[in-house]
Amino acid sequence: MRLSRIKLAGFKSFVDPTTLDLPSNLVGIVGPNGCGKSNTIDAVRWVMGESSAKHLRGDSMEDVIFSGSSSRKPVGQASIELVFDNSSGKLGGAYAQYAEIAVKRRVSRDGQSQYFLNGARCRRRDITDIFLGTGLGPRSYAIIEQGMISRLIEARPEDLRIYLEEAAGISKYRERRRETENR
C-alpha cells in the first residue's frame, strides 16, 4: 500500500483544487515558511478521521476550511481525497480487491463531515476500519510529527501498548472485540 495522490480543495491554504502526485516511496516537500507543507500532513490526518481540531493546529474543526485572504473570499467547504495504490492487496477487507482505494472527507461550515470510499458514502468507522493494523490512522505511528519521539519515550505504559498493538497488527481484533462486547 502506498499513498500516491492527495487532492485538496478549500482545505486550509489550499483554496483552489490541487492535486499532489507522490510518484515514489520517498518524497520530500520543500518550500518557504507558511507555504503549506504542514497543511498537507494535516490533510492526511484529517481524512483518516482526526476529530481533534487541536491536533490539526486549529481551535475548531471549521478552521480547516479556507478562511479567506486579502484577495480571496472564504469558501464554504473543504475536501480532501487520498488515493492509495493497493496493487499489493494489503489494504483492507472488502476493499482488498481494488488496485486503487480513494478515501475522501468533506466538511462544510455547519460542521457536517461526510466520508467516502471509492466514491461511495460511508461512515468514519469504515475508513478507520480498513486502516486498522496498517500503522496509518489519525493517531498512528505512520505520521511522526515534531515532539512525537519525546512523547513516545515519555509515554505511560498503557499508551505505549497501543502503539505496540498497532505495530503487531492486533489492534483491529481488539477493536472488533470491543464492538462485539458493546452490542
First to last CA, the chain: 32
Whose cell is 507555504? That residue is 35
Q: Which of 3, 5, 20, 67 binds ligand ATP (CB under 6 A)?
A: 67
Please give the residue whose beta carbon sits closest to Mg ion in the complex: 38
Distance CA 173, CA 132 (A): 9
Q: What distances in angstroms separate CA 166 from CA 6, 32, 71, 152, one per listed residue?
A: 24, 35, 45, 14
Q: Which stretch binds ligand ATP (CB under 6 A): 58-66, 79-87, 101-109, 173-181?
A: 58-66
Q: Closest distance between ligand ATP and the C-beta of residue 121, in Å?
A: 25
User: Quick check: 108 and 10 in contact, CB under 8 A?
Assistant: no
3 state DSSP class of 30: coil
Q: Is 18 in the site for ligand ATP (CB under 6 A)?
A: no
108 binds, among Mg ion, ligand ATP, none (CB under 5 to 8 A by kind): none
Q: Residue 63, interface with ligand ATP (CB under 6 A)? A: yes
Taking CB under 6 A as the rule, does residue 85 contact ligand ATP?
no
Residue 36 assigned as binding residue: yes
- Alpha-carbon distance of 69 to 112, in angstroms, equals 24
Give the orientation angle of helix 171-182 with respect to helix 157-168, to 10 degrees: 110
Q: Which of residues 29-68 bind Mg ion (CB under 5 A)?
A: 37-38
Q: Which residues bind Mg ion (CB under 5 A)?
A: 37-38
Write out the binding residues for ATP. Answer: 32-39
Q: Which residues bind ligand ATP (CB under 6 A)?
A: 12-13, 31, 33-39, 63, 65-67
